[in-house]
């Protein structure tokens, strides 16, 4: 079926443990997987049949270079998955504002452009928020993400002003459901729901990533949440090899926090069938 490469990054050039599960499932289907670092100048991407973005986990540290690399695939549709236009639209978290404008239920999101000078306290007051989360518009793994509140905004102003001088920021109200009930990650392959994971932060923290002490567990979402997540994906209007829909449950409904279409960790080890489902999705796409 031709060459298949999982794109990785310099700090971890081989397959992750999770992606090795997918490679093993693909091997059983007669497909070999190689790993290649996305910004390795010695890789001739033009000669590869299929490239699957997997652990390109430093893209946010060199976003312009990464976007240029993704754009090299635009004239070769079907080679890169997810498709290059989808990935380019997913790199900046301001896509949440676009989804909100399409009537998707998202956590309220304000973009503060680099160089703007409105104080954090004013932003919080203007939106009648109490506790907020501040994060870069282009980021991964909660890098540069922190909490503030109405009561701490004045002393947080120096930190906020320094960060917004350098980059666009997002300000969102803090969602207490993350700590109390957990944040959902709903994983889809080729448009079909595969499995769910519920992530909770460490005591006293708000970040669910494992390197901050967060702990994910396999969990079964309600059919209602799955259907609402699938409806969010339908707004993209493109075939997706994979998607991870992250959000909270509020009053029985799904509220989107992030739509991961670029390089999400897929929690394949959290389901006995996830790696096989991912492999089957890749095979279907290989055959198109």
What is the crossing angle of helices 274-286 and 17-27, to 10°? 60
Q: Which helix (H) or strand (E) holds 285?
A: helix 274-286
The pLDDT tens digits of the residues spanning 166-195 come to 999 999 999 999 988 999 999 999 999 999
Domain ranges across the chain: 4-90, 95-105+177-261, 110-173
Supply 133's token pair.
Answer: 């989360």
CATH tag for 4-90 (out of 3.40.50.150, 3.30.450.20, 3.40.50.20, 1.10.150.530): 3.40.50.20
Q: What pLDDT score was predicted for residue 1?
A: 47
The pLDDT tens digits of the residues spanning 254-276 come to 999 999 999 999 999 999 999 99
Q: Mean pLDDT lowest for which of 10-24, 70-84, 130-144?
A: 130-144
- Using alpha carbons, list the distances in angstroms from residue 188 to 147, 161, 219, 239, 277: 30, 38, 15, 11, 9
Are 45 and 71 spatial neighbours (Cβ–Cβ below 8 Å)? no
DSSP E strand boundaries for the chain: 4-8, 33-37, 50-53, 80-81, 110-112, 131-136, 146-149, 169-173, 183-189, 192-200, 215-219, 242-250, 253-260
Which CATH fold would you assign to the domain 110-173?
Dna Ligase; domain 1 (3.30.1490)
The residues near 15 (Cβ < 8 Å, ≥ 6 apart) are 6, 8, 23, 33, 35, 54, 55
- Size of the chain, expressed as the number of residues it contains: 288
Which CATH fold would you assign to the domain 95-105+177-261?
D-amino Acid Aminotransferase; Chain A, domain 1 (3.30.470)
The pLDDT tens digits of the residues spanning 36-92 come to 999 999 999 999 999 999 999 999 999 999 999 999 999 999 999 999 999 999 999
């Amino acid at each position: 079926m031709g060459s298949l490469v999982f794109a990785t990054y310099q700090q971890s050039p081989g397959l992750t443990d999770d992606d090795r599960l997918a490679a093993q499932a693909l091997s059983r289907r007669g497909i070999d997987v190689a790993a290649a670092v996305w910004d390795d100048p010695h890789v001739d991407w033009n000669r590869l049949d299929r490239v699957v973005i997997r652990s390109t986990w430093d893209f946010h540290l060199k976003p312009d270079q990464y976007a240029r690399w993704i754009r090299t695939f635009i004239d070769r549709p079907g080679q890169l998955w997810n498709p290059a236009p989808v990935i380019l639209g997913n790199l900046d978290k301001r896509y949440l504002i676009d989804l909100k404008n399409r009537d998707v239920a998202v956590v309220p999101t304000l973009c503060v452009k680099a160089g703007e000078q409105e104080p954090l306290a004013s932003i919080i007051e203007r939106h009648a928020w109490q506790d907020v989360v501040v994060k870069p518009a282009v980021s991964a793994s909660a890098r540069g993400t922190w909490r503030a509140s109405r009561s701490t905004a004045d002393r947080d102003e120096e930190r906020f002003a320094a960060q917004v001088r350098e980059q666009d920021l997002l300000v969102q109200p803090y969602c207490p459901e993350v700590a109390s009930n957990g944040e959902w990650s709903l994983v889809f392959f080729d448009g079909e729901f595969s499995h769910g994971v519920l992530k909770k932060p460490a005591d006293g923290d708000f970040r669910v990533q494992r390197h901050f002490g967060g702990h994910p567990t396999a969990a079964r979402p309600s059919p209602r949440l799955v259907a609402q997540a699938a409806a969010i994906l339908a707004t993209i209007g493109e075939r997706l090899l994979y998607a991870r829909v992250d959000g909270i449950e509020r009053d029985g409904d799904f509220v989107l926090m992030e739509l991961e279409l670029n390089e999400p960790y897929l929690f394949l080890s959290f389901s006995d069938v996830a790696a096989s489902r991912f492999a089957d999705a890749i095979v279907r796409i290989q055959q198109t």
